[in-house]
Amino acid sequence: DVKVTQSSRYLVKRTGEKVFLECVQDMDHENMFWYRQDPGLGLRLIYFSYDVKMKEKGDIPEGYSVSREKKERFSLILESASTNQTSMYLCASSPSNQPQHFGDGTRLSIL
């Protein structure tokens, strides 16, 4: 079975902090994705990557950046956390033109 592991299930940070969310997949997938999930808005794509060191902006990239130095790891970075970034963050991976597999999510609270 595909395993997508997000480093934290729950995280509490303060405004202005730099926050790192880590995601690791064990199936050698080319594609990796970061979403945020908010009630009534569904899942919205923040950033995605088709290959190592590649990144593409999704629908809501403002206030975020990403890093993919190794194929199995995709990090989401909040450069200066703000309260409106309190949300559930979901990581996913997939081979090309195949369904995405999701991690269990990180519930992030910014105080």
Partner 1 sequence: AQSVTQPDIHITVSEGASLELRCNYSYGATPYLFWYVQSPGQGLQLLLKYFSGDTLVQGIKGFEAEFKRSQSSFNLRKPSVHWSDAAEYFCAVGVPDKLIFGTGTRLQVFP
Binding site for partner 1 (CB under 8 A): 4, 31, 33, 40-45, 48, 50, 58, 90, 92, 94, 96-97, 99-105
Minimum distance from residue 80 beta carbon to partner 1 (Å)? 27
Longest dimension (CA), the chain: 39
Smallest Cα–Cα separation from 61: which of 41, 86, 36? 36
Give the separation between CA 108 and CA 94, rounded to whole angstroms.
24
Q: Which is nearer to partner 1, 55 or 103 (CB)?
A: 103
Minimum distance from residue 90 beta carbon to partner 1 (Å)? 6
